[in-house]
Amino acid sequence: MTALTSMLQKGERVELYLRRLFESFGYKKYRMSKFENYDLYAENKSFLKNESIITFHDLSGKLMALKPDVTLSIVKNAKGASAEKYYYVDKVFRLQSQNREYREIAQMGLEYIGPIGLFETAEVVSLALESLSAIERDYVLEFSHMGFVEGLLAGEGVTGELREQVLTALSQKNVDEITLLCSRAGLSSEQVERVAALATLGGSYAETLAKARGISRTLETKAALSELGVLFELLDELKLSSNLRLDFSITNSVDYYNGLIFNGYVEGLPRAVLSGGRYDNLLRRFGRSTSAIGFALYLDEVERALREPKDYDVDYLILHEEGEDSAGLFRACRKLIDQGYTVTALRKRPEGLRCKKICRFQDGVLKEETVC
Protein backbone atom coordinates (compact mmCIF):
# COMPACT_ATOMS: atom_id res chain seq x y z
CA MET A 1 0.00 0.00 0.00
CA THR A 2 2.84 2.38 0.81
CA ALA A 3 4.22 1.70 -2.66
CA LEU A 4 0.85 2.71 -4.04
CA THR A 5 0.56 5.98 -2.13
CA SER A 6 4.14 6.89 -3.00
CA MET A 7 2.87 7.19 -6.58
CA LEU A 8 0.62 10.05 -5.56
CA GLN A 9 1.54 13.69 -5.55
CA LYS A 10 1.81 15.12 -2.06
CA GLY A 11 -1.42 17.08 -2.60
CA GLU A 12 -3.27 13.86 -3.31
CA ARG A 13 -1.80 12.19 -0.25
CA VAL A 14 -2.90 15.13 1.91
CA GLU A 15 -6.40 14.80 0.49
CA LEU A 16 -6.55 11.07 1.29
CA TYR A 17 -5.16 11.65 4.75
CA LEU A 18 -7.75 14.32 5.50
CA ARG A 19 -10.61 12.20 4.16
CA ARG A 20 -9.65 9.47 6.57
CA LEU A 21 -9.29 11.97 9.39
CA PHE A 22 -12.73 13.49 8.76
CA GLU A 23 -14.34 10.05 8.42
CA SER A 24 -12.81 8.90 11.68
CA PHE A 25 -14.47 11.86 13.41
CA GLY A 26 -17.81 10.67 12.03
CA TYR A 27 -18.16 13.06 9.06
CA LYS A 28 -19.88 11.57 6.02
CA LYS A 29 -18.84 12.30 2.47
CA TYR A 30 -21.29 14.54 0.69
CA ARG A 31 -21.70 14.04 -3.02
CA MET A 32 -23.53 16.41 -5.28
CA SER A 33 -24.05 16.75 -8.99
CA LYS A 34 -22.28 19.44 -10.97
CA PHE A 35 -25.49 21.40 -11.44
CA GLU A 36 -27.83 23.13 -9.07
CA ASN A 37 -30.91 25.26 -9.46
CA TYR A 38 -29.79 28.82 -10.21
CA ASP A 39 -32.34 30.23 -7.75
CA LEU A 40 -30.35 28.86 -4.84
CA TYR A 41 -27.42 31.10 -5.71
CA ALA A 42 -29.52 34.06 -6.81
CA GLU A 43 -31.25 34.11 -3.42
CA ASN A 44 -28.00 33.80 -1.51
CA LYS A 45 -25.70 35.94 -3.59
CA SER A 46 -24.06 37.64 -0.68
CA PHE A 47 -22.89 34.29 0.66
CA LEU A 48 -20.80 33.73 -2.46
CA LYS A 49 -17.55 35.62 -2.66
CA ASN A 50 -18.09 36.30 -6.33
CA GLU A 51 -21.50 36.72 -7.87
CA SER A 52 -20.66 35.54 -11.38
CA ILE A 53 -22.01 32.08 -12.07
CA ILE A 54 -22.05 29.92 -15.20
CA THR A 55 -25.69 29.32 -16.06
CA PHE A 56 -27.60 27.38 -18.72
CA HIS A 57 -31.14 26.17 -19.37
CA ASP A 58 -31.95 22.52 -18.88
CA LEU A 59 -34.30 20.72 -21.28
CA SER A 60 -37.41 21.87 -19.44
CA GLY A 61 -36.25 25.47 -19.62
CA LYS A 62 -35.25 25.75 -15.99
CA LEU A 63 -32.24 27.97 -15.31
CA MET A 64 -29.42 25.88 -13.90
CA ALA A 65 -25.96 26.76 -12.64
CA LEU A 66 -22.60 25.05 -12.53
CA LYS A 67 -22.06 24.98 -8.80
CA PRO A 68 -19.84 27.77 -7.46
CA ASP A 69 -20.11 26.44 -3.93
CA VAL A 70 -20.94 23.25 -2.02
CA THR A 71 -21.92 24.58 1.41
CA LEU A 72 -25.18 26.09 0.16
CA SER A 73 -26.29 22.75 -1.26
CA ILE A 74 -25.40 20.92 1.94
CA VAL A 75 -27.36 23.42 4.01
CA LYS A 76 -30.31 23.27 1.64
CA ASN A 77 -30.49 19.49 1.84
CA ALA A 78 -29.72 19.10 5.53
CA LYS A 79 -33.19 18.72 6.95
CA GLY A 80 -32.53 16.34 9.83
CA ALA A 81 -33.53 17.17 13.38
CA SER A 82 -30.27 15.97 14.90
CA ALA A 83 -26.73 17.04 14.15
CA GLU A 84 -25.40 16.43 10.67
CA LYS A 85 -21.73 16.12 9.87
CA TYR A 86 -20.51 16.22 6.30
CA TYR A 87 -17.30 16.70 4.41
CA TYR A 88 -16.82 17.09 0.67
CA VAL A 89 -14.10 16.94 -1.94
CA ASP A 90 -15.45 18.56 -5.04
CA LYS A 91 -14.91 20.85 -7.99
CA VAL A 92 -16.54 24.26 -7.99
CA PHE A 93 -16.70 26.79 -10.81
CA ARG A 94 -15.71 30.35 -10.03
CA LEU A 95 -14.69 33.49 -11.79
CA GLN A 96 -11.05 34.42 -11.25
CA SER A 97 -10.97 38.12 -10.59
CA GLN A 98 -7.42 38.41 -11.99
CA ASN A 99 -8.02 37.33 -15.57
CA ARG A 100 -11.83 37.47 -15.72
CA GLU A 101 -12.12 33.81 -16.65
CA TYR A 102 -14.00 30.91 -15.12
CA ARG A 103 -11.98 28.19 -13.52
CA GLU A 104 -12.68 24.78 -12.09
CA ILE A 105 -11.38 24.81 -8.54
CA ALA A 106 -10.80 21.81 -6.32
CA GLN A 107 -12.17 22.33 -2.85
CA MET A 108 -12.40 20.28 0.27
CA GLY A 109 -14.57 21.23 3.17
CA LEU A 110 -16.27 20.19 6.34
CA GLU A 111 -19.62 21.26 7.76
CA TYR A 112 -21.22 20.64 11.14
CA ILE A 113 -24.92 21.47 11.29
CA GLY A 114 -26.75 21.14 14.59
CA PRO A 115 -26.61 22.46 18.13
CA ILE A 116 -23.14 23.89 18.72
CA GLY A 117 -21.37 24.31 22.00
CA LEU A 118 -17.78 24.50 23.10
CA PHE A 119 -17.07 20.85 22.28
CA GLU A 120 -18.39 21.03 18.70
CA THR A 121 -16.51 24.28 18.03
CA ALA A 122 -13.29 22.81 19.36
CA GLU A 123 -13.74 19.67 17.26
CA VAL A 124 -14.11 21.65 14.02
CA VAL A 125 -11.24 23.99 14.92
CA SER A 126 -8.98 21.06 15.78
CA LEU A 127 -9.76 19.49 12.39
CA ALA A 128 -8.94 22.79 10.69
CA LEU A 129 -5.63 22.88 12.56
CA GLU A 130 -4.82 19.32 11.62
CA SER A 131 -5.66 20.05 7.97
CA LEU A 132 -3.16 22.90 7.96
CA SER A 133 -0.46 20.87 9.68
CA ALA A 134 -0.88 18.13 7.07
CA ILE A 135 0.06 20.67 4.40
CA GLU A 136 3.03 22.45 5.92
CA ARG A 137 4.98 22.53 9.17
CA ASP A 138 4.65 26.31 9.56
CA TYR A 139 1.04 27.38 9.66
CA VAL A 140 -1.23 29.86 11.37
CA LEU A 141 -4.93 29.72 12.12
CA GLU A 142 -6.25 33.16 12.92
CA PHE A 143 -9.57 33.88 14.55
CA SER A 144 -11.94 36.74 14.78
CA HIS A 145 -15.41 37.01 16.23
CA MET A 146 -18.13 38.80 14.28
CA GLY A 147 -20.00 39.43 17.51
CA PHE A 148 -17.07 41.51 18.70
CA VAL A 149 -16.49 43.39 15.45
CA GLU A 150 -20.19 44.06 14.73
CA GLY A 151 -20.89 44.84 18.37
CA LEU A 152 -18.05 47.32 18.56
CA LEU A 153 -19.03 49.04 15.32
CA ALA A 154 -22.70 49.28 16.32
CA GLY A 155 -21.73 50.50 19.79
CA GLU A 156 -19.73 53.38 18.30
CA GLY A 157 -22.52 54.28 15.90
CA VAL A 158 -20.89 52.91 12.76
CA THR A 159 -23.87 51.72 10.72
CA GLY A 160 -25.23 51.61 7.19
CA GLU A 161 -22.95 52.69 4.39
CA LEU A 162 -20.23 53.80 6.80
CA ARG A 163 -20.16 50.29 8.27
CA GLU A 164 -19.62 48.77 4.81
CA GLN A 165 -16.77 51.18 4.07
CA VAL A 166 -15.17 50.63 7.46
CA LEU A 167 -15.37 46.84 7.05
CA THR A 168 -13.63 47.05 3.66
CA ALA A 169 -10.87 49.24 5.11
CA LEU A 170 -10.68 46.90 8.10
CA SER A 171 -10.01 43.88 5.88
CA GLN A 172 -7.00 45.85 4.54
CA LYS A 173 -5.83 46.87 8.02
CA ASN A 174 -6.08 50.39 6.67
CA VAL A 175 -5.91 52.49 9.81
CA ASP A 176 -5.56 55.78 7.90
CA GLU A 177 -8.71 55.11 5.91
CA ILE A 178 -10.77 54.02 8.93
CA THR A 179 -9.67 57.10 10.83
CA LEU A 180 -10.59 59.32 7.90
CA LEU A 181 -13.99 57.68 7.35
CA CYS A 182 -14.99 57.80 11.00
CA SER A 183 -13.85 61.33 11.72
CA ARG A 184 -15.59 62.55 8.57
CA ALA A 185 -18.78 60.90 9.86
CA GLY A 186 -18.52 62.92 13.05
CA LEU A 187 -17.34 60.32 15.55
CA SER A 188 -15.48 61.63 18.57
CA SER A 189 -11.71 61.11 18.63
CA GLU A 190 -12.01 58.41 21.33
CA GLN A 191 -14.59 56.60 19.24
CA VAL A 192 -12.40 56.86 16.14
CA GLU A 193 -9.50 55.46 18.10
CA ARG A 194 -11.50 52.46 19.29
CA VAL A 195 -12.78 51.64 15.80
CA ALA A 196 -9.32 52.08 14.24
CA ALA A 197 -7.85 49.87 16.96
CA LEU A 198 -9.73 46.94 15.41
CA ALA A 199 -7.38 47.04 12.43
CA THR A 200 -4.26 46.71 14.52
CA LEU A 201 -5.65 44.19 16.99
CA GLY A 202 -3.80 41.12 15.88
CA GLY A 203 -1.16 38.73 17.09
CA SER A 204 -0.79 36.17 19.81
CA TYR A 205 -4.10 34.96 21.17
CA ALA A 206 -3.71 35.77 24.85
CA GLU A 207 -2.14 39.19 24.34
CA THR A 208 -4.63 40.30 21.70
CA LEU A 209 -7.56 39.10 23.80
CA ALA A 210 -6.35 41.24 26.68
CA LYS A 211 -6.02 44.29 24.42
CA ALA A 212 -9.48 43.67 22.94
CA ARG A 213 -10.96 43.66 26.44
CA GLY A 214 -9.63 47.19 26.80
CA ILE A 215 -11.90 48.52 24.05
CA SER A 216 -14.87 46.26 24.73
CA ARG A 217 -17.77 48.31 26.07
CA THR A 218 -21.02 46.51 25.22
CA LEU A 219 -22.60 43.28 26.42
CA GLU A 220 -22.31 41.85 22.91
CA THR A 221 -18.58 42.47 22.61
CA LYS A 222 -17.96 41.16 26.11
CA ALA A 223 -19.88 37.96 25.36
CA ALA A 224 -17.89 37.47 22.14
CA LEU A 225 -14.56 37.91 23.93
CA SER A 226 -15.50 35.53 26.70
CA GLU A 227 -16.47 32.94 24.06
CA LEU A 228 -13.04 33.37 22.46
CA GLY A 229 -11.41 33.14 25.87
CA VAL A 230 -13.14 29.89 26.81
CA LEU A 231 -12.33 28.33 23.44
CA PHE A 232 -8.68 29.30 23.78
CA GLU A 233 -8.45 27.81 27.27
CA LEU A 234 -9.82 24.51 26.01
CA LEU A 235 -7.52 24.41 22.98
CA ASP A 236 -4.60 25.32 25.21
CA GLU A 237 -5.46 22.46 27.55
CA LEU A 238 -5.52 20.13 24.53
CA LYS A 239 -2.07 21.44 23.48
CA LEU A 240 -3.54 22.85 20.27
CA SER A 241 -2.93 26.53 20.88
CA SER A 242 0.62 27.07 19.59
CA ASN A 243 -0.41 28.10 16.05
CA LEU A 244 -3.45 30.16 16.98
CA ARG A 245 -3.66 33.91 16.49
CA LEU A 246 -6.36 36.49 16.92
CA ASP A 247 -6.87 39.08 14.23
CA PHE A 248 -9.94 41.29 14.18
CA SER A 249 -9.35 42.44 10.62
CA ILE A 250 -10.81 39.22 9.16
CA THR A 251 -14.15 40.01 7.57
CA ASN A 252 -15.04 37.09 5.25
CA SER A 253 -18.63 37.48 4.03
CA VAL A 254 -19.81 39.36 7.08
CA ASP A 255 -23.47 38.98 6.20
CA TYR A 256 -23.51 35.27 6.76
CA TYR A 257 -20.96 34.63 9.41
CA ASN A 258 -21.91 35.35 12.94
CA GLY A 259 -19.72 34.41 15.85
CA LEU A 260 -16.38 32.78 15.28
CA ILE A 261 -14.61 33.12 11.93
CA PHE A 262 -11.17 31.92 10.96
CA ASN A 263 -8.59 31.85 8.17
CA GLY A 264 -5.67 29.47 7.77
CA TYR A 265 -2.32 30.32 6.21
CA VAL A 266 0.72 28.19 5.54
CA GLU A 267 4.24 29.47 5.07
CA GLY A 268 5.13 30.06 1.44
CA LEU A 269 1.61 30.34 0.04
CA PRO A 270 0.45 33.91 -0.67
CA ARG A 271 -3.26 33.47 0.06
CA ALA A 272 -5.33 31.90 2.80
CA VAL A 273 -5.67 28.16 2.12
CA LEU A 274 -8.47 27.64 4.59
CA SER A 275 -11.40 29.75 5.69
CA GLY A 276 -14.48 29.13 7.72
CA GLY A 277 -16.62 30.03 10.67
CA ARG A 278 -19.97 29.96 12.30
CA TYR A 279 -22.83 30.60 9.87
CA ASP A 280 -26.13 30.34 11.74
CA ASN A 281 -27.43 33.25 9.64
CA LEU A 282 -27.37 31.11 6.50
CA LEU A 283 -29.50 28.46 8.21
CA ARG A 284 -32.02 31.14 9.22
CA ARG A 285 -32.46 31.91 5.56
CA PHE A 286 -33.45 28.31 4.98
CA GLY A 287 -35.89 28.47 7.86
CA ARG A 288 -33.80 26.44 10.29
CA SER A 289 -33.24 27.55 13.83
CA THR A 290 -30.17 25.42 14.45
CA SER A 291 -26.48 26.38 14.17
CA ALA A 292 -23.68 25.55 11.76
CA ILE A 293 -19.91 25.77 11.62
CA GLY A 294 -17.51 24.64 8.95
CA PHE A 295 -14.53 25.42 6.78
CA ALA A 296 -13.26 25.05 3.25
CA LEU A 297 -9.76 24.13 2.17
CA TYR A 298 -8.59 25.43 -1.20
CA LEU A 299 -6.95 22.36 -2.67
CA ASP A 300 -5.73 23.98 -5.87
CA GLU A 301 -3.71 26.52 -3.88
CA VAL A 302 -2.36 23.72 -1.76
CA GLU A 303 -1.49 21.47 -4.67
CA ARG A 304 0.52 24.16 -6.36
CA ALA A 305 2.72 24.42 -3.30
CA LEU A 306 3.05 20.71 -2.75
CA ARG A 307 3.84 19.69 -6.30
CA GLU A 308 7.12 17.77 -6.25
CA PRO A 309 9.17 18.19 -9.39
CA LYS A 310 10.03 14.93 -11.13
CA ASP A 311 13.44 14.47 -12.71
CA TYR A 312 12.33 11.68 -15.03
CA ASP A 313 9.13 10.71 -16.79
CA VAL A 314 10.01 7.03 -16.68
CA ASP A 315 12.85 4.84 -15.37
CA TYR A 316 13.32 2.57 -18.38
CA LEU A 317 12.70 3.15 -22.04
CA ILE A 318 12.87 -0.13 -23.94
CA LEU A 319 13.29 0.21 -27.68
CA HIS A 320 12.31 -2.70 -29.86
CA GLU A 321 11.68 -3.53 -33.51
CA GLU A 322 8.73 -5.16 -35.21
CA GLY A 323 9.07 -8.93 -35.34
CA GLU A 324 10.96 -9.36 -32.05
CA ASP A 325 9.93 -12.02 -29.56
CA SER A 326 6.82 -10.38 -28.02
CA ALA A 327 6.53 -12.80 -25.10
CA GLY A 328 10.18 -12.23 -24.23
CA LEU A 329 9.74 -8.46 -24.43
CA PHE A 330 6.66 -8.63 -22.22
CA ARG A 331 8.51 -10.74 -19.64
CA ALA A 332 11.50 -8.40 -19.68
CA CYS A 333 9.26 -5.37 -19.04
CA ARG A 334 7.34 -7.17 -16.34
CA LYS A 335 10.55 -8.19 -14.59
CA LEU A 336 11.67 -4.56 -14.31
CA ILE A 337 8.20 -3.41 -13.20
CA ASP A 338 8.15 -6.07 -10.49
CA GLN A 339 11.43 -4.65 -9.24
CA GLY A 340 9.62 -1.37 -8.75
CA TYR A 341 10.69 0.52 -11.89
CA THR A 342 8.48 2.32 -14.36
CA VAL A 343 8.90 1.04 -17.89
CA THR A 344 7.72 2.05 -21.31
CA ALA A 345 8.36 -0.09 -24.38
CA LEU A 346 8.29 1.82 -27.66
CA ARG A 347 9.52 1.47 -31.22
CA LYS A 348 11.12 4.89 -31.23
CA ARG A 349 12.19 7.31 -28.56
CA PRO A 350 9.60 10.11 -28.30
CA GLU A 351 10.94 13.61 -28.37
CA GLY A 352 11.40 15.17 -24.96
CA LEU A 353 10.91 11.96 -22.98
CA ARG A 354 13.14 12.02 -19.92
CA CYS A 355 14.25 8.53 -18.92
CA LYS A 356 16.91 7.23 -16.55
CA LYS A 357 18.00 4.38 -18.79
CA ILE A 358 17.48 3.37 -22.38
CA CYS A 359 17.60 -0.32 -23.29
CA ARG A 360 17.26 -2.10 -26.60
CA PHE A 361 15.46 -5.41 -26.86
CA GLN A 362 17.15 -7.39 -29.58
CA ASP A 363 17.41 -11.12 -30.34
CA GLY A 364 15.51 -11.93 -27.16
CA VAL A 365 17.85 -10.03 -24.80
CA LEU A 366 17.78 -6.64 -23.15
CA LYS A 367 20.88 -4.53 -23.69
CA GLU A 368 21.48 -1.26 -21.96
CA GLU A 369 22.38 1.64 -24.20
CA THR A 370 24.24 4.74 -23.10
CA VAL A 371 22.24 7.10 -20.94
CA CYS A 372 20.91 10.17 -22.66
Contacts with another protein by CB under 8 A lie at 97, 138, 140, 142, 169, 172-177, 202-203, 245, 249, 265-272
Smaller CB separation from another protein, 179 or 291: 179
Which amino acid is located at 244 in the chain? L
Distance CA(9)–CA(7), nearest Å, equals: 7
**Smallest distance from the beta carbon of 189 to another protein, in angstroms?**
17
CA distances from 39 to 164, 281, 352 (A): 26, 18, 49
**Smallest distance from the beta carbon of 184 to another protein, in angstroms?**
13
Smaller CB separation from another protein, 173 or 349: 173
**Smallest distance from the beta carbon of 266 to another protein, in angstroms?**
8
Q: Is 329 in contact with 310 (CB distance < 8 Å)?
A: no
**Smallest distance from the beta carbon of 212 to another protein, in angstroms?**
17
Residue 185: which of 202, 169, 201 has the closest Cα? 169
Smaller CB separation from another protein, 74 or 266: 266
**Smallest distance from the beta carbon of 358 to another protein, in angstroms?**
39
Which amino acid is located at 217 in the chain? R
Smaller CB separation from another protein, 124 or 132: 132
State the alpha helices, DSSP H only, in 81-159.
Answer: 118-135, 146-155
Smaller CB separation from another protein, 97 or 226: 97
- CB under 8 Å to 361, separation ≥6 — which residues? 318, 319, 320, 324, 328, 329, 332, 345, 367
**Smallest distance from the beta carbon of 331 to another protein, in angstroms?**
51
User: Per this entry, what is the length of the chain?
Assistant: 372
**Smallest distance from the beta carbon of 21 to another protein, in angstroms?**
23
Q: Is 225 in contact with 148 (CB distance < 8 Å)?
A: yes
Q: Which helix (H) or strand (E) holds 182?
A: helix 175-184
Smaller CB separation from another protein, 55 or 97: 97
Q: Which helix (H) or strand (E) holds 177?
A: helix 175-184
Smaller CB separation from another protein, 175 or 345: 175
Which amino acid is located at 93 in the chain? F
Strand partners, 91: 106
